[in-house]
Amino acid sequence: MSALPEHVTIREVALRDGLQIETPIPLAAKLELLFAIAATGVREVEATAFVSPSKVPALADAPEFSAQLAAYPDIEFSALVASPNGARRAIAAGLHSLEYVVSAADGHSNANVGRSSAEATAQIAEIVAIAHDAGVSVEVIIATAWDCPFDGPTPPERV
């Protein structure tokens, strides 16, 4: 058996994943949550998402919220983006790390971002170019790699 790593990196996602489908809360409440998260000592936080405010109203204040992140210089903040426009908006708001999710299953992709997996995959190059041109890192994440709540098990060739 191999030795365990000396450390584990935890990326806290409550500010984005935990709030995105909830009734919108005031910016001040989000800032209180951010303060509490920062107090835990976590060093990576997925802060928000730059997505359509009409589809995800709980995160419509992403630019305003992102403007407050500089108060925590010891934390590496990232934002989820769902399109090239979202990448541009996140960069304009001062984020230095982006995440873009592509679902391996079409059912999840259509439910999540309103386009097929192939259409979402086709946007990777543009999003990466936008990020890299701005000196920003981008992580492309594969969702539903094993199973999809809409389509069932994901065939390996889709990943």
Span 56-114, pLDDT tens digits = 999 999 999 999 999 999 999 999 999 999 999 999 999 999 999 999 999 999 998 99
Beta strands (DSSP E) in 4-157 are 11-12, 44-50, 76-81, 97-103, 137-143, 147-148, 152-153
| Per-residue pLDDT, 154 | 95
pLDDT value at 1 more than 90: no
Span 31-44, mean pLDDT? Answer: 97
Q: Which residues of 39-64 are buried (b: 16+ CB within 10 A; e: fewer)?
A: eeeeeebbbbbbbbeeebebbbbbee
pTM of the predicted protein model: 0.91
CA distances from 137 to 41, 64, 75, 94, 140 (A): 23, 21, 15, 12, 10
Instruction: Give yes or no for a contact between 96 and 138, defined as CB atoms under 8 angstroms apart.
Output: no
Is 2 a residue whose pLDDT tops 90?
A: no
Q: In order of start, what are the domains of the chain with their CATH numbers?
A: 11-158 (3.20.20.70)
Which residue spans within the chain are E strands per DSSP?
11-12, 44-50, 76-81, 97-103, 137-143, 147-148, 152-153
Residue 24 has pLDDT above 90, yes or no: yes
What dihedral angle (degrees, nearest 10) is formed by the CA atoms of 69, 71, 75, 81?
10
Average pLDDT rounded to a whole number, residues 134-140: 98
d(CA 126, CA 103): 17
